[in-house]
Structure 1
Amino acid sequence: MDQSTHNRVRVLIHNTEYTLRGDASEVHMRKAAQRVDELMNGIASAHVRLDERQVAVLAALNLADNLEQLQSQYDLLQSRQDQTQARYDETQRRSDELQRQLDSLQAQYEDLVNLLDEQTRTSP
């Protein structure tokens, strides 16, 4: 993609200004920057002896941990969805089979009713 079509936004993260460029919307980039800013400020406030690099690494680890947890939840939900889809497919297959059986039984019933009508009409 041409760089001129990328969105560009200036943000403040932990008292440092950055210019972000990307395909994401400006709102999305601002929200992401705000999240990083809040996380780094929280870590720095809780651990005043950490330098900027350590704060940034802990923030990155925190975000990576959150991502891993979300990925695990997603994988679990995907697995459940796959199982549900398999059960649905099996239920649909069984329903189709039962419908064929019902259609066959209805045809047999109609044949028997017609046969009975014929026998009733032709008998003395």
Structure 2
Amino acid sequence: MEKKPSQKVNVEIFGDTYPFKTDGDPEELRRLAAVVDERMKTAAKMTRSLDTRKIAVLAALQMASEYADLKKDYDELMQLLEDK
């Protein structure tokens, strides 16, 4: 199978443009960037901070917390399925 060439994709997150190269689907990268952008905007409203780094860390912590909750639920579901 031939490897797809990398594509350059520019995404905007919290008012800044970031260039990325991806071997995957550029639209998926844009969707993920939109999620990060929205989370940062939400975090900025909650903190009323102008410090982009602090806003990014808060948004990352919120996403990490959600991921941990989902992983825990997934692991519990997998255990239930294995026990059957």
- Contact 2:43 2:55 (8 Å CA) reproduced: yes
**Correspondence 1:55 to 2:61:** no
Instruction: Please tell me whether Structure 1 or Structure 2 has the larger radius of gyration of its CA atoms.
Output: 1
Q: What is the correspondence of 1:33-72 to structure 2 with a 5 Å cutoff? A: 33-72=33-72
Name the structure with the higher helix share. Answer: 1
CA distance in 1, matches of 2:48, 2:29: 28
Structure 2 segments unaligned to the other structure (5+ residues): none
**Correspondence 1:32 to 2:32:** yes
Over the aligned positions, Cα root-mean-square deviation in angstroms equals 1.5
Deviation digits for residues 53-86 of structure 1, max 9, x if unmatched?
A: 10010011111111111110110111111112xx
Structure 1 segments unaligned to the other structure (5+ residues): 85-124
Identity between Structure 1 and Structure 2 (%): 32
CA distance in 1, matches of 2:7, 2:75: 31
TM-score normalised by length of structure 2: 0.85
Is the partner of 1:49 in helix, strand or coil?
Answer: coil
CA distance in 1, matches of 2:83, 2:8: 43
The alignment of Structure 1 onto Structure 2 pairs a total of residues equal to: 81
